[in-house]
Amino acid sequence: MLLVYLSIFDKPINNTMNQFGVRIKQLREQKGLLQRQVANQLEMDTPMLSKIERGERNAKREQVTILSKIFNVPEEDLLSLWLADKVYDVVKDEDVALKAMGFAEEELKTKPKRNSVKKK
């Protein structure tokens, strides 16, 4: 993982996109749940959930499904953020990232999907 340092604060800044983790933390706090309560339902320890919320670890796809049920939100919404974070992590340092994403978008429009998400 690439870390960038700002001398003003002397703290590492994580160079990853973390829309998924931020949303999970928002939902958890809106529900008034503690990290340990959510972590228990995911069958993981609390520090691991904390790392997911901070963008230091990635959740597994099956955990996204469980989280959508815990927070009663459409799985597609969380899955989209989770996948966007993963894609960003792969292409963020590439000069031709946007061009490659355009090609991928066109390909996705024409290919049948393997995994479909049930909408609520």
**109 has pLDDT over 70:** yes
**CA 4/CA 12 separation, integer angstroms:** 6
Report residue 16's pLDDT band, with 50, 70 and 90 as the boundaries. Answer: low
Find out whether 42 and 63 touch, Cβ atoms under 8 Å: yes
For 7-43, give the DSSP string: TTTTEEEE-S--HHHHHHHHHHHHTT--HHHHHHHHT
10 domain residue, yes or no: yes
* Total number of domains constituting the chain: 1
Residue range(s) defining the domain that contains residue 14? 3-110
106 domain residue, yes or no: yes
Assign residue 47 the CATH number of its domain: 1.10.260.40
65 domain residue, yes or no: yes
31-56: pLDDT as tens digits: 999 999 999 999 999 999 999 999 99
115 domain residue, yes or no: no
117 domain residue, yes or no: no
pTM: 0.75
